Amino acid sequence: MSIRYYSTNRDLKNITGIKPFAGKVSFKEALLTGQAPDEGLFMPDSIPRLSLNDIQELKGKPYWETALLVAMAFLADEFSVEVLTHVVQDAYNYPVPLEEVSRRTFVMRLDQGPTASFKDFAARMMARLMSYCRPQGERLNILVATSGDTGSAVGKAFKDVIGIDVTILYPTDEVSLRQKKQLDTIGGNVQSLSVSGKFDDCQNLVKQAFSDPALARFNLTSANSINFGRILPQIIYYIYAYAQLAAAGEEIIFSVPSGNFGDALGCEYARRMGMPLAKLVMPTNENDEFPNYLKNGSYKKVSPSRACISNAMNVGHPSNLARFFELYGGTVDRAGVVHSNPDLEEMRQHIFSVSISDEETRKTIKKVYQLYNVVLEQHGAVGWAGLEAFFQATKTKGLAVSLETAHPAKFPEEIQKLLGLTPELPASMKGIDERKGNALSMTNNYVDFKNYLQNHLKVKE
C-alpha cells in the first residue's frame, strides 16, 4: 500500500483565512509544493518498518546503502530502485565520521559535505529527487531567500542538477564575508542576488513572485525547510550510526542540537521505523519554549526569538513542532496556538529537552577541547551539553551519539577566542576567500525583481 501525505491542519476549524485541507497527496506532490494548501505540514499517513536484521546488516557498509534502504521504504512506489540508487550515490559522496570521544559516547560529524553543515544531507537528496519529479521537458526554478547558511546548502545541492535553476536572494549587509563568498561563488545554474535591504525584504520578494500569475510559466518552487523531502534524508544518519555502533538490539541515545526541530524529527521517525532508541535528547539554546513545555505542559513561544551564538538555532517557535505534536496526538498551528495537547507522558518517555545558555555553550567548547582534544563549534556544543545534562539528570549510561551539525571553521572568530586556535578549513572550503564571486545587485523593489526574473529565467530544458 502506498504512503500518502496529509496536512497537520486538516482538522483545524474556526480559524479565519484557513480552509482545512482534508485530502492526501503523493510524495512527489508534497515535494514540489512544499507546504499543504492550508499552510499545514505534510505528514506520511503510515510509517514503514525496518527489521532489526535489515538495520544490522548495514554495519560496515557505505553510507549510501543505509540511504537506499530508508529511501526504498518510503518511496518504492514512486521511484524505481535504479533512480533511488543513483540519487543516494550521487548525493552522499563524502564521509560521515563517528568519533569516540569518551567511552561509548560518540560525536557524529555531519559537517563534511560541500557547505560544511548538516543541511547538506537533506538539500542534496531533495535536489536530486526534484530533478526526477519535474514535469516532462520543463525546467524548475527554485527561489530561495536566505540569511546565510540555508542558501548556500541549497544552492550547492542544486549545482549541476539537470533541469533546475536556482536564484538565491540575500541581504547585502546582513551576511558575513565568508557567507557572501559561499553564496556568490557557486556559479553555473545557481545565481545569487545581493539585495539592498533586509532578510524580510528578500522573503517578501520571493513570496510575491510565487503568487504572481505572470511568472507561473517558470515553474517557481521553493526548497522550503518544512518540505517533507528535507525530513526524509534526515532519518538516514540515525539508522546509519545505530547500525555501525550498536550491539544486537541494544538501545541508543541521540543528542540533537535543535532549532526548527527538523533534524530531531528524523530521529523520531527512525525510532518509529524500528531503530531501538533509549532517548531522543533535544537541547535548545536560550530559546527554551520546548523544554519549558515538556516540564510544565503549557506552550508559550519565545517572541521575538533570542539571539544566541548558536545562531542557526535562534528559533522561538520551531516550524516542525507541529509534526511532533501530530505524532503524539496533538495539534499546534503556525502561530504557536495549541488546539489540542499531545500525550505529554508519552512524549516525556521518549524525549528529553533542556535549554543551554551561551555561557554553558562556551564552557562546553573549552571543556571538550581540554578533556578530549576535540573541537566542537557552538551548535555541536549545545548538543554535547544537552547529553551531559541528560546523563546527570537520569544517572543513565550507555551508548550515546551527539551530533556535530556544522564545521568549526565556519565560526573562526568564536573558536579563536575560546581555544586560541584557528580551525583548519575543510576541503570544501579551501581557497574560499580568494574565489571570485558573481553576485548581481538587486534593489528591494518588486518590479525590478520581476523584470530580472522575466529576462533571465528559462522555461524549457
Ligand X SMILES: *Cc1c(COP(=O)(O)O)cnc(C)c1O
Contacts with ligand X by CB under 6 A lie at 117, 119, 149, 257-263, 312-313, 379, 405-406
User: Between residues 203 and 260, which has the closer beta carbon with respect to ligand X?
Assistant: 260
CB of 283 to ligand X, least distance (A): 10
Q: Give 268 or 333: the residue with its C-beta nearer to ligand X.
A: 268
Minimum separation from the CB atom of position 168 to ligand X (A): 16
Between 189 and 320, whose beta carbon lies closer to ligand X? 320
The residues pairing with 98 across neighbouring beta strands, listed in sequence order, are 108
Question: Which residue, 54, 133, 134, 124, is CA-closest to 88?
Answer: 124
Distance of closest approach, residue 351 Cβ to ligand X, in angstroms: 13
Nearer of residues 141 and 353 to ligand X, judged by Cβ:
353
Supply the minimum distance, in Å, between the C-beta of residue 111 and ligand X: 8
Give 163 or 259: the residue with its C-beta nearer to ligand X.
259
**Considering the complex, what minimum distance in angstroms separates the CB of residue 284 from ligand X?**
9
Q: Which is nearer to ligand X, 263 or 333 (CB)?
A: 263
Rounded least distance, CB 27 to ligand X, Å: 20
Q: Closer CB to ligand X, residue 233 or residue 259?
A: 259
Short-list 292, 305, 263, CA closest to 406: 263
Nearer to ligand X, 259 or 342 (CB): 259
**Least CB distance to ligand X at residue 453 (A):** 28
119 versus 180: smaller Cβ distance to ligand X:
119
Contact 298, 239 (CB under 8 A): no
List the one residue out of 167, 151, 135 whose CA is nearest residue 199. Answer: 151
SS3 per residue for the chain: CCCCEEECCCCCCCCCCCCCCCCCECHHHHHHHCCCCCCCCEEECCCCCCCHHHHHCCCCCCHHHHHHHHHHHHHCCCCCHHHHHHHHHHHCCCCCCEEEEECCEEEEECCCCCCCECHHHHHHHHHHHHHHHCCCCECEEEEEECCCHHHHHHHHHHCCCCCEEEEEEEECCCCCHHHHHHHHCCECCEEEEEECCCHHHHHHHHHHHHCCHHHHHHCEECCCCCCHHHHCHHHHHHHHHHHHHCCCCCCEEEECCCCCCHHHHHHHHHHHCCCCEEEEECCECCCCHHHHHHHHCCCCCCCCCCCCCCHHHCCCCCCCHHHHHHHCCCEECCCCCEEECCCHHHHHHHEECCECCHHHHHHHHHHHHHHHCCCCCHHHHHHHHHHHHHHHHHCCCCCEEEEECECHHHCHHHHHHHHCCCCCCCHHHCCHHHCCCCCEEECCCHHHHHHHHHHHCCCEC
Question: Is the previous residue joined to 304 through a cis bond, with omega within 30 degrees of 0?
Answer: yes
Min dist. Cβ of residue 33 to ligand X (A): 20
CB of 459 to ligand X, least distance (A): 33
Minimum distance from CB of 325 to ligand X (Å)?
15
